Amino acid sequence: MMRLPFYLDCDTGIDDAMALAYLLASERVDLLGVGSVSGNISAAVGAANTLDLLALAGRDDIPVAVGAHDFLAHEFHGGATHVHGENGIGGVVLPHAQREMEKESAAEMIVRLAHAHPGELRIIAIGPLTNLALALRLDADLAALVHDVTIMGGAALVPGNVTRVAEANIHNDPEAAAEVLAADWFVTMVPLDATMESTIEADDRDVLEASNHPVARAIGAMLDTYFDFYVRFFGRRTSALHDPLAAAIAVGDLELGEAPVVHVEVDTTEGPGRGQTICELRYRFLGHPEQEGAHCRVVLSVVEPFTPKLMAAMLRL
């Protein structure tokens, strides 16, 4: 099978770690580089977690660049340690990778890879969109060079997870999200509408912990912390599969359900709507009019269950 060139932008992060594992296991993916961004934890810690996970997977060949520490209009204030643990990966201590980060920034890495693979590079962004916005600012030709962008972020018809209306990745840097959605490239947005419907359960975690593979075992251990957080949402020890679902959709591994291509606007005001992704979904009442100029596919649902695919991927690493 022909491998396609991918760049991953992440804030590793427990579900980011699962997304990384999913991509490493895929025969369709040539992961050319990974950039970190502040979000769940600082960009520096997220990059170190990524480097260590890659080492554990035996993939020291994949370059890692540190990305933006602060957001476009606001400083980073410590992240979501109550969700992902103090070190971002549920307190799991990984063996330290024996290599350095790249000297370039994540934004520079995006621009370099896009030029090296014109029309081919697929970008997956599973943290705040700061690095992508900075890359767009670095190179006016970037959007035209990139094949497409898949983001985990937003909430279309469901509540937010950090405010009543905003999802964490978009809420961390709404200005960056607005720039990324305004750029002239095709974006697939995977919001909470889809990701809260895919869960990994306690018996899946047991299987991971019993695995021979160190990455699967580490993820199984991390999930204990993620379950601690999600028990209040679901009433049982489980967690949503935000980032790996976006990764699988980017690779083309899942049949999409309702996934209209529509206009999406990000609320960048300082009011209660800050970070909301306002999606033009009135076609539901008005029929299915074409939305001229729209280039954001909003994945509201997927058809098949994703967890078995994710489990299989993590176990065959």
Which C-beta is closer to ligand BDR: that of 168 or that of 259?
A: 168
Size of the site for ligand BDR (CB under 6 A): 15
Query: Can you read off the two tokens belonging to residue 52?
Result: 């260590």
Which C-beta is closer to ligand BDR: that of 53 or that of 80?
A: 80
Please count the other Cβ atoms lying within 10 Å of the Cβ belonging to residue 61: 8
Does 191 participate in binding ligand BDR (rule CB under 6 A)? no
Which C-beta is closer to ligand BDR: that of 23 or that of 126?
A: 126
Please count the other Cβ atoms lying within 10 Å of the Cβ belonging to residue 272: 12
Q: Which residues pair with 256 in a beta bridge?
A: 302
Contacts of 287 (CB under 8 A, 6+ apart): none
* Count of all residues that appear for the chain in the document: 317
Sheet holding 187-190, edge to edge: 64-65, 29-36, 4-10, 122-125, 148-152, 187-190, 296-298, 261-262
Does 244 participate in binding Ca ion (rule CB under 5 A)? no
Does 15 participate in binding ligand BDR (rule CB under 6 A)? yes
Does 167 participate in binding ligand BDR (rule CB under 6 A)? yes
Does 85 participate in binding ligand BDR (rule CB under 6 A)? no
Q: Which residue among 6, 7, 8, 13 contacts Ca ion (CB under 5 A)?
A: 13
Q: Which residue among 6, 8, 9, 16 contacts ligand BDR (CB under 6 A)?
A: 16
Place of tokens 């090296």: 116
Does 168 participate in binding ligand BDR (rule CB under 6 A)? yes
Which positions from 173 to 212 touch Ca ion by CB under 5 A, shown as an x/- string?
Answer: ----------------------------------------
Q: Number of H helices and number of E strands within the chain?
A: 14, 12
Interface residues toward ligand BDR, by CB under 6 A? 13, 15-16, 40, 80, 83, 126-127, 152, 161, 167-169, 242-243
